[in-house]
Amino acid sequence: MISLPDSDSEDELPPGWEERATDDGKVCYVNQQGKTSQWTHPRTGRSKRITGELPLGWEKYYDEQGKRFMFLNKETQQRTNVDPRLAFAVEEPTQNVAQVRQRFDSCSTALQVLHGKDLHGRTALITGANCGIGFETARSLAQHGCEIIFACRNRTSTEAAIERIAQERPAARSRCRFAALDLSSLRSVQRFVNEIKQTVSHIDYLILNAGVFALPHTKTEDGLETTFQVSHLSHFYLTLQLETLFDYKTRIVVLSSESHRFANLPVENLAVHHLSPPPEKYWSMMAYNNAKLCNVLFAQELAQRWKQRGISVFSLHPGNMVSTDLSRNYWFYRLLFAIVRPFTKSLQQAAATSIYCATANELTGLSGLYFNNCFFCEPSKLSKGTSLQQQLWQLSENLISELLEEEQH
């Protein structure tokens, strides 16, 4: 329990704290000394929101040089990044998921979710953004003004993807860029993070989209089974290494799957061989199920650990049997996907839930939820076990530390 200095006013902020407002009007409280943030007042424990139009004589504009929204008092020419309506913020009821009304469903598209949104000044980092759901996610955000970092392995296919976006919206070309990331290599993740930190000061949306499916048993350069490292471990490492670029305006979106319900990880004594099995105990479908469970476990634990920073973390299922490049690794799955394609989601529909989790105003202040068809639902009982969440986190940290230490010797 934090001890706060006495004050005559219950609403007065303690020393070192300040108020900020999000674009959708939610008030966030930032502790400059502790570098933490939260959605509730540090004294009252209540949340606030700004409402209504700007005061007479004020206007809001986007500062291209500073890459942020500013407020101008046209009479005095005063410029500030603090919303003048903060002085009139009003308390609002405690936000909980039961108050969220369903606005979209399985038929909704990513562009429908984004209708009317202006994302200029926002930055999204998307893994696997050069094809499939990742491409549709990047394309939709870019069309609404968002800057996109395509975190991909293949430069040629990524540049072709960016060109496709530019053909539709020429202005989007300057907002899209390639950054080399090979999720089968922890060293590649390190190089990627160093590059991003030199060029980016803040990430609004981290969308962990990349994954593999139906692979034969293969090992990465780090000696781990590929499905596990690409789908979970490298994303885990990437997220923690980028931590300094996140704040209360950041949302982290982890693509999982309903397949996580069929995983067979043990509740106790989780070990590396459960996550990265040897060839004789490997089945590609179970490897995928377990990796998708790891995605939900990671998102749940991360949401809890970063709760006080105001960072929202969500995991999701994009859609049933979506036609993506994931099926390219095995002829049987390619055939199956071709047969069921008329009954499945389009890629635009599949990207809708990722876009919703990243941008929906009504999710501000919420975290640790699992979504399907643009609405929250209960994940598996196994994924909600705090013990397993913590075991996976600790095992992942230890594994990364050991692998990187081995490479130094």
Quickly list DSSP for 377-407: ----TGGG-HHHHHHHHHHHHHHHHHHHHHH
Do the Cβ atoms of 394 and 288 come closer than 8 Å?
A: no
Quickly list DSSP for 236-274: HHHHHHTGGG--TT-EEEEE--GGGGG----SSS--HHH
Which of 29, 205, 248, 288 does the annotation list as catalytic?
Answer: 288
Do the Cβ atoms of 275 and 216 come closer than 8 Å?
A: no
Residue 235 CA to residue 189 CA, distance in Å, equals 9
Known active-site residue 288: yes
Q: Which secondary structure element, helix H or strand E, spans residue 305, and what is its range?
A: helix 284-305
Q: How many of the other CB atoms lie within 10 Å of CB of 85?
A: 19
Residue 247 CA to residue 20 CA, distance in Å, equals 12
Residue 96 CA to residue 219 CA, distance in Å, equals 43
Residues whose CB falls within 8 Å of the CB of residue 382, separated by 6 or more in sequence, listed in order: 263, 265, 267, 293, 388
Rg for the chain, CA atoms, rounded: 22
Residue 258 CA to residue 263 CA, distance in Å, equals 10
CA 6 to chain centre: 38
Q: Left (φ > 0), alpha (ψ -120 to 50) or beta: where does 67 sit?
A: left
Residue 270 CA to residue 228 CA, distance in Å, equals 14
**Residues recognised as catalytic:** 288
